[in-house]
Structure 1
Amino acid sequence: MKVLLIDDHPLILSALQSVIQGLGSHVSVIGVGSARATRETLKRDSDFDLVLLDLHLGDADGFELLAELRSSYPALPVVVVSASDRASDVIRAIDLGAMGFVPKRASNETLFEALHMVMSGGIYVPPMTLGSERRAEKPEGDTVPSVLHVVGQSALDSGFQTQPALDAIGLTPRQTEVLALLLQGQPNKMIARELGLSVETVKDHVAAVLRALGVSSRTQAVLAVSQMSQQSGGFAAWRKSK
């Protein structure tokens, strides 16, 4: 596995390199400290399996670089590793196409779990982020969809040990297929083509999935499913158990 680390703090970059290299001899890690170096590295060689991106870079806004990477290299998964764990930052990163969001205060085990989930085709967001919004006053301008309050309250009530189960939402097999493609960021037309359905039928299925999850947008659905599926080893593992 070939990993590109992007962080402008030399000590953190070095520490992350050591941690990721600890995954095994099959892992090679290249670290860069700027958006410019990122572009140059990927221009020379874009054959990476994963990118870990810090949001605070000296020469670029991390969110803008995330959007650029997802546009230029759509098959390359990007995981944000940030000092922030604000729900608004998590939501924005996922909305821009990040496959995961790991706070820098997380343990090595949490980072490994997140990377495993992403490399298995899932999406990772930190459970603590959602519940912590209940413990402190929200920063000004920080908006959190209602689903995050629901998931966060469940996490808070249970001591952050369990999340609502995917089994509890009662999706049909077809709705599960639609959700799997929705989580990959596929638009309705592509989902319709993949499943051999009409676009109108797909719209009905997507609406049913959002209602079942208690959310109103695709981004909220991604976050909710990520939270729900972490206890069952990820959405892919949950699907196989059906």
Structure 2
Amino acid sequence: MRVLLIDGFPMVRAALTGLIEQNFAGAQVQGVDSVAAARAALAEQLPRLVLLDLHVDGGFELLQQIHREHLVLPVVVISGSDDTEDALQALGAGAMGYVPERSDLNTLVQALHLVLAGGTYVPPLKRLADEPAPVAAPARAWAELPLTPRQKGVLELLARGLSNKEIARELNVSVDTVKDHVAAVLKALGANSRTQAVLIATQKQGR
């Protein structure tokens, strides 16, 4: 498994490289310190996973470009912020995971496993501290949302981090049917990604 790691600090790149190689058998990490180097690496060979520090100059624009040009390539953002607005911005731009730098190493590893399995990762965020966590949101939490009962059920499973295949198995429907439901949920909530949809729904419920 090839991983592209984009971070401006050599010590951080070294630490993350060691962590990934230790916890993911056969992982090959290519660390770069700039958007230009990242684009060159992407043009040469697409990785299985991208880890991106948005503090790198042009990092947010790179995230948008990856989402636009390589829709199925998962990107996990490593950020110094645990504010909901920052997470929403990154997830809305296409990130499949958002991991604050304060997170412990086990959390980071679990987040990467989840994203690689087709799920999404959202940590407990500062602005959501007094609201129900998305992963624990019961179906009744979506009562006021403009969704059908089936779409609310899909949203609940998205909040639990399940992939399309896992949702299909849970609901006993095809993966294509799940994709249609997910697309409908995103459209109804005005979201650009699965994770952003969960965050939007959670915020609406907390109002």
Same fold (TM over 0.5): yes
1:78-157, aligned counterparts within 5 Å? 78-127=75-124, 129=125, 132-133=126-127, 148=128, 152-154=129-131
Q: Distance in 1 between matches of 2:137 and 2:155?
A: 18
Name the SS for the 1:26 alignment partner.
coil
Name the SS for the 1:31 alignment partner.
strand
Please give the per-residue CA displacement for 1:158-189, whole angstroms capped at 9, x wherever unaligned: xx8x95433444774465458879x99xxxxx
Please give the per-residue CA displacement for 1:93-148, whole angstroms capped at 9, x wherever unaligned: 00001000001111111101111111122111111x2xx33xxxxxxxxxxxxxx4
Q: Distance in 2 between matches of 1:175 and 1:167?
A: 7
Aligned to 2:171: none
Q: Distance in 1 between matches of 2:201 and 2:116?
A: 17
Q: Distance in 1 between matches of 2:130 and 2:120?
A: 21
Letter in 2 for 1:36: A
Aligned to 1:33: 33
Q: How many residues align?
A: 177
Q: Distance in 2 between matches of 1:226 and 1:76?
A: 26
Name the SS for the 1:70 alignment partner.
helix
Shift of 1:10: 0.7
Aligned to 1:218: 191
Greater Rg over alpha carbons, structure: 1
Name the SS for the 1:29 alignment partner.
strand
Q: Which gives a bigger RCO, structure 1 or 2 (Cα 8 Å, sep 6+)? A: 2
Shift of 1:85: 1.8
Q: Distance in 1 between matches of 2:15 and 2:65?
A: 26
Shift of 1:154: 3.6
Q: Distance in 1 between matches of 2:109 and 2:66?
A: 22
Please give the per-residue CA displacement for 1:209-242, whole angstroms capped at 9, x wherever unaligned: 96xxxxx543652326799xxxxxxxxxxxxxxx
In structure 2, stretches of 5+ residues that fail to align are 143-147, 164-175
| Alignment partner of 1:68 out of 65, 68, 74 | 65
Query: In 2 relative to 1, CA 109–34 (structure 1 residues): closer, same or farther, beyond 3 Å?
Result: same
Aligned to 1:191: none
Q: Distance in 1 between matches of 2:51 and 2:86?
A: 16
- Is 1:24 equivalent to 2:1 in the alignment? no
Query: In 2 relative to 1, CA 35–109 (structure 1 residues): closer, same or farther, beyond 3 Å?
Result: same
TM-score normalised by structure 2 residue count: 0.71
In structure 1, stretches of 5+ residues that fail to align are 134-147, 185-193, 211-215, 228-242
Q: Distance in 1 between matches of 2:2 and 2:130?
A: 38
Root mean square deviation of aligned Cα: 3.5
Q: Distance in 1 between matches of 2:6 and 2:122?
A: 19
Letter in 2 for 1:56: H
Name the SS for the 1:153 alignment partner.
coil
Name the SS for the 1:53 alignment partner.
strand
Please give the per-residue CA displacement for 1:15-65, whole angstroms capped at 9, x wherever unaligned: 11111111133222111111010011111111x1110000011xx322111
- State the identity as a percent: 38
TM-score normalised by structure 1 residue count: 0.62
